Chains A and B, each alone.
Chain A
């Protein structure tokens, strides 16, 4: 079965999957514990506008995605400091505006209209080597930032108000966190596409959350789980010749359901046994 990895594009796909797992394992953990998947959805969908702009003006669509998603992160972080009640609405508007701009730019692009399915739904089998470099750099930024700001991120995600009282620049660190989400989104676009990004940002984290006792171990477990999803998705989609993005997501959702069942039945049983044992 290992002969599928004798192709260069398969090696690239495997590297892309590994790089992505690190990004969403680490950043996804914050998204799950802070419950900001809607915000993350807003950031990732706005990125589509940047992809369109990249095609329209003739520069790398992924760089366009980086620009647009960072812009979305800045707007959302700014809205939060204003504490007005329409944050939710504005994120929703940005979400669709980004998609609309993307479609508009692409229809304005002269000549051959590119097939954008790859950006919407992902295709891990066609990751060019230069995009791997971009993913690697973004990964490095994510891991280094979390390494440097771990305590601060922990404080602001666990109890924002207390962090403020301790003199931590909450708004600044929140902005950094949202920008890391923007980077992660870009890393994930090639893998599962804009529309499916949310699933990979949340499901590995949601599964690990049930079994861990610290944010650090949650990040590590999420990364491992995400890597396995990618590997399995890659192999299955290759042999069955189906969409890699969709396959990865479906594997993730099924795994999440299994983890819930395991948690509810298996772990409750252990607790019950322990309780009975203590009565003996």
Chain B
């Protein structure tokens, strides 16, 4: 089976600083990959390269075997929840509808309603997006990405702090979506992530990746260059150990 995402020998230099150094990774279909690393470690940069927003110095990216420009409709992008213009007069419904641009639908409104229900935000559809909490905005942005039925979902530092009252938690929602969609999520929050992902990679200019979900002490040390930081992030190898023994 072809890889959902194939990243080959990517280098990125921004304002004279090397941000990504020879990144290689094959992401299989229906994988749930968590990319962790410190702030400034190049996580968002790597996402931007995969999305075609940033041209790397060298190297190539293939989405389902095709170059990025031919595969934009396969990608669903979920930026950080505060990435859009503040005070913009736009309803939740209209935000999600933006995701339908570039694709033809029989009934756009019906599709928008459907994904809003899927992320449990249907009852908020007439509210202004800026009246919502961070977690609620996040769900709307997921709906905006889902509305074009992508094969791959890319999430940049999602906030998991706030959730709908009686619904599934944010990560349970992602896990549900993962049945049909490949998910790549970048975060500096190792602890929560480790319970839901199928694979983990560590990124700090270099990508450390062993094609498994186990994070070794060495991986983290190589990534964070700081063992104290490791403990502060919740001793992830212990959490993972329990999960794997099940």
Hey, which bits of chain A sit against chain B, CB under 8 A?
Answer: 33-35, 151-152, 154-155, 157-159, 161-168, 209, 212-215, 217-218
Given contact pairs A157-B88, A161-B83, enumerate 16 new A-B contacts (beta carbons under 8 Å).
A151-B101, A154-B98, A155-B98, A157-B85, A158-B85, A159-B83, A159-B85, A162-B84, A162-B98, A163-B98, A167-B102, A168-B101, A213-B128, A214-B94, A215-B88, A215-B89
- Is B95 in the interface zone, CB < 8 Å from A? yes
Closest to B99 in A: A166
* Shortest CB distance A132–B (Å): 32
Whether A166 lies near B101 (C-beta < 8 A) is yes
Partner of A161, one of B53, B91, B102: B53
CB pairs A–B below 8 angstroms (26 shown): A33-B87, A35-B85, A152-B101, A155-B101, A157-B88, A158-B84, A158-B98, A159-B83, A159-B84, A161-B79, A162-B77, A164-B53, A165-B52, A165-B53, A165-B72, A165-B77, A166-B72, A166-B98, A166-B99, A167-B72, A168-B101, A209-B87, A213-B126, A214-B90, A214-B94, A215-B90
B20: A residues at CB distance < 8 A: none
CB pair B85 A34 closer than 8 Å: yes
Docked complex Cα distance between A152 and B101 (Å): 8
Q: How far is the CA of A159 from the CA of B126 in the complex (A)?
A: 19
Q: Is the interface of A mostly helix, strand, loop or mixed?
A: helix
Chain B residues whose C-beta falls within 8 Å of the C-beta of A163 in the assembled complex: 98, 101
- What is the distance, in angstroms, from B25's C-beta to the closest C-beta of chain A? 20
Scan residues 110-132 of chain B and give those whose CB is less than 8 A from a CB of chain A.
Answer: 126, 128
Does any Cβ of A come within 8 Å of B155's Cβ?
A: no
Measured between beta carbons, the chain A residues less than 8 angstroms from B72 are 165-167
Q: Which of B51, B53, B79, B89 contacts A159 (CB 8 A)?
A: B79
Q: Which residues of A contact B102 (CB under 8 A)?
A: 166-168
- Does chain A have a CB within 8 A of B213? no
Does B144 make an interface contact (CB < 8 A)? yes
Query: Please, which residues of chain A bring their CB within 8 A of the CB of B144?
Result: 162
Cβ of B75 under 8 Å from chain A:
yes
In the bound complex, residues from chain B placing their C-beta under 8 Å from that of A159 are: 79, 83-85, 98
The 6 closest A-B pairs by CB, nearest first: A159-B84, A167-B72, A165-B77, A155-B98, A212-B89, A166-B102
Residues of B within 8 A of A167 (CB): 72-73, 102
CA of A34 to CA of B84 in the docked complex: distance in angstroms? 10
Nearest-CB residue, chain A, relative to B48: A161
Q: What's the nearest-Cβ distance from chain A to residue B109, in Å?
A: 14
